[in-house]
Chain A
Amino acid sequence: MIRAVIVMNTQGKPRLVKFYDFQPPEKQQELIRSVYGVLSERADNVSNFVEADAIFGPGTQLVYKHFATLYFVFVFDSAENELAMLDLIQVFVETLDRCFKNVCELDMVFNFNKMHMLLDEIIFGGQVLETSSEQVLKAVEEIAKLEKSSSAISLVPKSVSARFGR
């Protein structure tokens, strides 16, 4: 089972946080900080896996990928295949990239609930739901369409990242 998905920037600021087993907010922050502590110390030429027993309990590992200013971290237990988790990060990032057209950190900051929507189509309650980014995008687009048609107040304007990109 996947225990958590964390996206944070290289300064340790969380950009997307999803725990699949409930953690109180203080504990979440503590976990994010310890994960950041581990990742920031790792060199570039080492493996993407870290044993996370000390942070998330026995048998857990985390796999991370570093893209530009962001770390994508998946925490999982022994019921998952490590290499497959690495591919899943790839799927997630590719999907984001297609959704936001060259995704950058700012897109994530302003569209965090769209990120959640995407993530919920890929991972469901800690299990892999869908691995085809096309299918994921289709589902997300349908939802966005539905949302637009039934609501006058747009929550997050899509073009924000274009206007405030810096």
Chain B
Amino acid sequence: MNPFSSGTRLRDMIRAIRACKTAAEERAVVRKECAAIRAAISENDPDYRHRNLAKLMFIHMLGYPTHFGQMECLKLIASAGFPEKRIGYLGLMLLLDERQEVLMLVTNSLKQDLNHSNQYIVGLALCALGNICSAEMARDLAPEVERLLQTRDPNIKKKAALCSIRIIRKVPDLAENFMGPASSLLKEKHHGVLIAGVQLCTDLCKASTIALEYLRKNCTEGLVRILRDVSNSPYAPEYDIAGITDPFLHIRVLRLMRMLGQGDADSSEYMNDILAQVATKTESNKNAGNAILYECVETIMGIEATSGLRVLAINILGRFLSNRDNNIRYVALNMLMKAVTVDSQAVQRHRTTILECVKDSDASIRKRALELVFLLVNDTNVKSLTKELIDHLEVSDQEFKGDLTAKICSIVEKFSQEKLWYIDQMCKVLSLAGNHVKDDVWHALIVMISNAPDLQGYAVRSLYKAFRTSNEQESLVRVTVWCIGEYGEMLVNNVGVLEMEEPMTVTESDAVDVVEVALQHHSSDITTRAMSLVALLKLSSRFPPTSERIREIVMQHKGNVELELQQRSLEFNSIIQRHPNIKSSLVERMPVLDESAYIGKRAGSSQATLSADKSSQTTSSGPSSLKLPNGVTKPPAAPLMDLLDLSSDDAPVSTSSTTDFLHDLLGGDSISPGVAPSGGAGTDILMDLLSIGSPSAPTDVLVPNAISSKQGNAPEPKIAPAPVMDLLDGLPSREENPVYPSITAFESSTLKITFSFTKQPGNLQATVIQATFTNLSSSAYTDFIFQAAVPKFIQLQLDPASSSTLPANGSGTITQMLTVTNSQHGQKALAMRIRMAYKVNDQDKLEQGQINNFPRGL
């Protein structure tokens, strides 16, 4: 024996591996074995080839590389003995990839074996072909397989039928060759052949409409007969599973019937009777019986069945829902979800049972049931369903709360007919599961409250009450703090009390207490604290007597480690102490937030782009269209401009500092206002209010100076306007500049990016680029991130994107603003490398490219 060949037998190796105590030991054993096998391979030792390959398969299962054994598979397949061939084919299926070149070499051996006289060798070859067949092999070997479909041996026949499925999947053109043989398989008696034959027919229907028509014409009758025979047949122990005769055949036949009956009234009509028989007669106390019923229901929903039959089907599902077996409930929910689109009325009847399933102990059932309930909600049942769901929120598992909260919130938002109800429900959700409420949901609540002047008092009182009972829920705390800051006097003076409200007395210091609790609470994060500080500042103006106390609370944070809080604390202190004359105008109530703009933003979709386009149109058409009192042109869809206009109207004294203060006041999330906030927050309207529209505008106008320069002096109105006007005028005066054509910066099969350009007036080097991203594929992208790199002579600034989700099929876009400053303007052209990272179905994708086709002169 060759001294280098591995002397150990397969089971010795397995035992050695099993004896390993640590992963390192196991690796050492495997390494040694692999080395021995490699040596044997290079020795070309035929005696132990198949033993070595068997070892390799075991090693492969453990996750070690085994590519060096691939050629050995081919050698074994080519050898004459049956055991060698068997191991060879097994290795071929496990170790090789259909994309590998090596596979080309095996086609010839396969062909020979398919024509072999030994039926077991033919079986091995068919099995291998069915597992790894490539398009090329399919074309080469289809005639052999077709011939084998007509042999007498049932074992070969059924394997050939399934092998044909693989061939058709690889090369759909071949489907028509298999129609005839496939339909004759349905006349067989052997059960394995029947199952395989029915499966082949199902795949043929998927692959080609010609085959579908052919089979519909020739096989519908035969199928009905098979189903009748099998469901009426007496006890046949061989294919019996738990007392049901041959459930697999049942299921396959029902499935093929669905393919044939779909959209075809005649064949559906023909199937009605037998389907009704299966649906009523099948026993439902065993899993196998339920599997048949389940398939039968799906077929009834899929074909053009009579309405009576459909009701029967949905009632079967209703019965499933009250079954004690988790699996049955799970599939029933799955199916009801599909049935909702077909017949929602019938599904509605089982609403209470479905609602019970939301409370199930099994997480996957709960999740399904919740999705189904979501589909069932309509205007008439929304109130009772929401109540049930919210009641359940109280007792549900911690990990389920996230899903449940998200669904309740979207139901409440989608179906709220009256704002009062919406506020009530949101209050409940916030106080029960505020930590699970997403940012955009509570932002929407704030926007809504700001738009409902007659309910503001009620809202702030409800929130106050809710806060007194639970102050651990982050988003409840934030909304409460915001509302008390804005509408604190409504809380104290009981403004706008509704009839059903219980009277309550809240003093000014009670209101301050609440905000103080929020500010000092250990679980409050920096955003909540920053919001609390702003609320306190506002309260100091609303309730002058508490002013001194508030100043003390605010000053406690003058040494805070968080720069943002420290800065706010110091600035607010200075406002309260030294600038009583401007304070009241600074802390004016927020202007009504633009609801529709917010909804548009949130959708992050084409709407946003549309309005952006509109704004550029109006601006280029000149400032004539929209005039505001102070003569500043206002692009319509920019709430920011509203805000600035309003403030400059209200407080003309110190326009520049007002913008900055607003900047700060609103700065819930933005830690450092000068730097553009990062990606994810892009949908946030509060952020939008802050991030002053065009990035190159002087956002850092005198942040510290705003206060210091005015200390002691009366505010001078004339200092500031210049930069502010600049800021506001930046967009409209664009028409003087040359217009640059938009370009398609990047296009692949899945993604398209277009750039449109605008120049800042008087600054030839800077260009603002609006990038628009469109998804050309059929699945949505999430966590979309765009990155860009430029040569050294260019500076680049990226603003946050409008969204991080990109809907499929170009049904929405993301827009993102880039500002580039070309320091060698006129000498060198722009150039950029870009990279887009995103997730499709949770899989990371990366695309990159280079853009050289920028218009000249940028």
Q: With A82-B331, A155-B51 known to touch, is A147 a contact of B196 (CB < 8 Å)?
A: no
Collect the chain A residues with CB atoms within 8 Å of residue B291's CB.
81-84, 86-87
Is A128's CB within 8 Å of the partner chain B?
Answer: yes
Query: Chain B residue with minimal CB distance to A134?
Result: B238
Q: Are A86 and B287 in contact (CB under 8 A)?
A: yes
Q: With A47-B326, A113-B57 known to touch, is A127 a contact of B196 (CB < 8 Å)?
A: yes
Complex CA distance for A157 and B334, rounded to whole angstroms: 46
Q: Are A29 and B364 in contact (CB under 8 A)?
A: no
Collect the chain A residues with CB atoms within 8 Å of residue B94's CB.
18, 116
Complex CA distance for A139 and B192, rounded to whole angstroms: 13
Q: Are A113 and B87 in contact (CB under 8 A)?
A: yes
Is B246's CB within 8 Å of the partner chain A?
Answer: yes
Collect the chain A residues with CB atoms within 8 Å of residue B54's CB.
113, 155-156
Is A28's CB within 8 Å of the partner chain B?
Answer: yes
- The minimal Cβ–Cβ distance linking A101 to chain B, given in whole angstroms, is 18
Query: Chain A residue with minimal CB distance to B203?
Result: A127
Complex CA distance for A22 and B329, rounded to whole angstroms: 33
Q: With A112-B58, A146-B120 known to touch, is A45 a contact of B326 (CB < 8 Å)?
A: yes
- The minimal Cβ–Cβ distance linking A30 to chain B, given in whole angstroms, is 9
Complex CA distance for A157 and B14, rounded to whole angstroms: 13
Interface residues of A in 3-56 (CB under 8 A from B): 14, 16-18, 20, 22, 24-26, 28-29, 32, 45-51, 53-54
Q: Are B83 and A155 in contact (CB under 8 A)?
A: yes
> A127-139 interface mask toward B, CB cutoff 8 Å, 1 = contact, 0 = none?
1111110110001
Is A68's CB within 8 Å of the partner chain B?
Answer: no
- The minimal Cβ–Cβ distance linking B264 to chain A, given in whole angstroms, is 20
Interface residues of B in 376-393 (CB under 8 A from A): none
Complex CA distance for A88 and B64, rounded to whole angstroms: 30
- The minimal Cβ–Cβ distance linking A124 to chain B, given in whole angstroms, is 5
- The minimal Cβ–Cβ distance linking A10 to chain B, given in whole angstroms, is 16
> B167-199 interface mask toward A, CB cutoff 8 Å, 1 = contact, 0 = none?
000000000000000000000000110011001
Q: With A25-B65, A130-B192, A147-B83 known to touch, is A84 a contact of B331 (CB < 8 Å)?
A: no
Is A70's CB within 8 Å of the partner chain B?
Answer: no
Is A102's CB within 8 Å of the partner chain B?
Answer: no
Grouping DSSP codes into helix (H, G, I), strand (E, B) and loop, the B interface class, with mixed when no group exceeds half, is: helix
Q: Are A54 and B98 in contact (CB under 8 A)?
A: no
Count contacts on A: residues with CB < 8 A to the other chain: 62
Q: Are A87 and B288 in contact (CB under 8 A)?
A: yes
Is A69's CB within 8 Å of the partner chain B?
Answer: no
Collect the chain A residues with CB atoms within 8 Å of residue B14's CB.
109-110
Query: Chain A residue with minimal CB distance to B364?
Result: A47
Is B282's CB within 8 Å of the partner chain A?
Answer: no
- The minimal Cβ–Cβ distance linking B499 to chain A, given in whole angstroms, is 48
Complex CA distance for A47 and B166, rounded to whole angstroms: 32
Query: Chain A residue with minimal CB distance to B163?
Result: A125
- The minimal Cβ–Cβ distance linking A107 to chain B, given in whole angstroms, is 12
Q: With A83-B294, A150-B82 known to touch, is A54 a contact of B361 (CB < 8 Å)?
A: no
- The minimal Cβ–Cβ distance linking B831 to chain A, given in whole angstroms, is 37
Complex CA distance for A164 and B4, rounded to whole angstroms: 28
- Counting chain B CB atoms within 10 Å of each CB, which of A22, A54, A83, A90 scores highest? A83
Q: With A124-B159, A142-B120, A156-B10 known to touch, is A87 a contact of B238 (CB < 8 Å)?
A: no
Collect the chain B residues with CB atoms within 8 Å of residue A142's CB.
120
Is B60's CB within 8 Å of the partner chain A?
Answer: yes
Complex CA distance for A28 and B10, rounded to whole angstroms: 23
Collect the chain B residues with CB atoms within 8 Å of residue A146's CB.
82, 118, 120
Q: Are B195 and A128 in contact (CB under 8 A)?
A: yes
Q: With A45-B326, A150-B82 known to touch, is A20 a contact of B131 (CB < 8 Å)?
A: yes
Is A162's CB within 8 Å of the partner chain B?
Answer: no
Q: Are B130 and A125 in contact (CB under 8 A)?
A: yes
Collect the chain B residues with CB atoms within 8 Å of residue A81's CB.
251, 255, 291, 294-295
Is A57's CB within 8 Å of the partner chain B?
Answer: yes
Complex CA distance for A109 and B118, rounded to whole angstroms: 30
Q: With A46-B361, A47-B326 known to touch, is A164 a contact of B15 (CB < 8 Å)?
A: yes
Q: Are B241 and A87 in contact (CB under 8 A)?
A: yes
Q: With A113-B90, A125-B162, A150-B81 known to touch, is A132 a contact of B239 (CB < 8 Å)?
A: yes
Interface residues of B in 48-85 (CB under 8 A from A): 50-51, 54, 57-58, 60-66, 81-83
Complex CA distance for A116 and B131, rounded to whole angstroms: 13
Q: Are A86 and B15 in contact (CB under 8 A)?
A: no
Interface residues of A in 53-100 (CB under 8 A from B): 53-54, 57-58, 81-84, 86-88, 90-91
Complex CA distance for A124 and B47, rounded to whole angstroms: 30
Complex CA distance for A9 and B409, rounded to whole angstroms: 42
Query: Chain B residue with minimal CB distance to A22?
Result: B97
Query: Chain A residue with minimal CB distance to B130?
Result: A125
Q: With A125-B162, A131-B246, A147-B82 known to touch, is A50 a contact of B364 (CB < 8 Å)?
A: yes
Query: Chain A residue with minimal CB distance to B132?
Result: A22
Is B248's CB within 8 Å of the partner chain A?
Answer: yes
Is B155's CB within 8 Å of the partner chain A?
Answer: yes
Q: Are B287 and A83 in contact (CB under 8 A)?
A: yes
Collect the chain A residues with CB atoms within 8 Å of residue B365's CB.
46-47
Collect the chain B residues with CB atoms within 8 Å of residue A47's CB.
326-327, 329-330, 362, 364-365
- The minimal Cβ–Cβ distance linking A73 to chain B, given in whole angstroms, is 14
Collect the chain A residues with CB atoms within 8 Å of residue B700's CB.
none
Q: Are B63 and A25 in contact (CB under 8 A)?
A: yes
Collect the chain B residues with CB atoms within 8 Å of residue A143's CB.
86, 120
Is B418's CB within 8 Å of the partner chain A?
Answer: no
Q: Are A150 and B83 in contact (CB under 8 A)?
A: yes
Query: Chain B residue with minimal CB distance to A127?
Result: B162
Collect the chain A residues with CB atoms within 8 Å of residue B50's CB.
153, 155
Is B812's CB within 8 Å of the partner chain A?
Answer: no
Complex CA distance for A28 and B328, rounded to whole angstroms: 30
Is B805's CB within 8 Å of the partner chain A?
Answer: no
Query: Chain A residue with minimal CB distance to B328?
Result: A83
Complex CA distance for A88 and B291, rounded to whole angstroms: 11
Complex CA distance for A32 and B248, rounded to whole angstroms: 28
- The minimal Cβ–Cβ distance linking B69 to chain A, given in whole angstroms, is 12
Q: Are B83 and A151 in contact (CB under 8 A)?
A: yes
Is B290's CB within 8 Å of the partner chain A?
Answer: yes
- The minimal Cβ–Cβ distance linking B806 to chain A, given in whole angstroms, is 17
- The minimal Cβ–Cβ distance linking B325 to chain A, given in whole angstroms, is 8
Interface residues of A in 106-124 (CB under 8 A from B): 109-110, 112-113, 116-117, 120, 124
Query: Chain B residue with minimal CB distance to A58?
Result: B841
Complex CA distance for A125 and B195, rounded to whole angstroms: 14
Complex CA distance for A110 and B195, rounded to whole angstroms: 32
Q: Are B57 and A112 in contact (CB under 8 A)?
A: yes
Q: With A25-B60, A54-B842, A113-B54 known to touch, is A129 a contact of B159 (CB < 8 Å)?
A: yes
Complex CA distance for A128 and B250, rounded to whole angstroms: 13
Q: Are B191 and A132 in contact (CB under 8 A)?
A: yes
- The minimal Cβ–Cβ distance linking B137 to chain A, given in whole angstroms, is 13
- The minimal Cβ–Cβ distance linking B521 to chain A, given in whole angstroms, is 33
Complex CA distance for A128 and B199, rounded to whole angstroms: 9
Complex CA distance for A90 and B82, rounded to whole angstroms: 30
Q: Are B363 and A46 in contact (CB under 8 A)?
A: yes
Q: With A46-B326, A81-B291, A84-B247 known to touch, is A129 a contact of B192 (CB < 8 Å)?
A: yes
Collect the chain A residues with CB atoms within 8 Å of residue B47's CB.
153
Collect the chain A residues with CB atoms within 8 Å of residue B759's CB.
none
Q: Are B248 and A131 in contact (CB under 8 A)?
A: yes
Collect the chain B residues with CB atoms within 8 Å of residue A83's CB.
287-288, 290-291, 294, 327-328, 331
> B87-124 interface mask toward A, CB cutoff 8 Å, 1 = contact, 0 = none?
10010001001110000000000000000001010010
- The minimal Cβ–Cβ distance linking A89 to chain B, given in whole angstroms, is 11
Complex CA distance for A132 and B120, rounded to whole angstroms: 19
Q: Are B361 and A156 in contact (CB under 8 A)?
A: no
Complex CA distance for A22 and B94, rounded to whole angstroms: 9
Interchain residue pairs with CB less than 8 A apart (5) = A24-B97, A53-B841, A125-B162, A131-B192, A155-B10
Nearest first, the 6 A-B pairs at minimum CB distance are A83-B291, A125-B130, A47-B326, A29-B63, A46-B362, A151-B83
Apart from A113-B54, A156-B54, 9 more pairs, CB < 8 Å: A22-B99, A83-B287, A83-B288, A83-B294, A87-B242, A90-B241, A124-B127, A125-B162, A153-B83
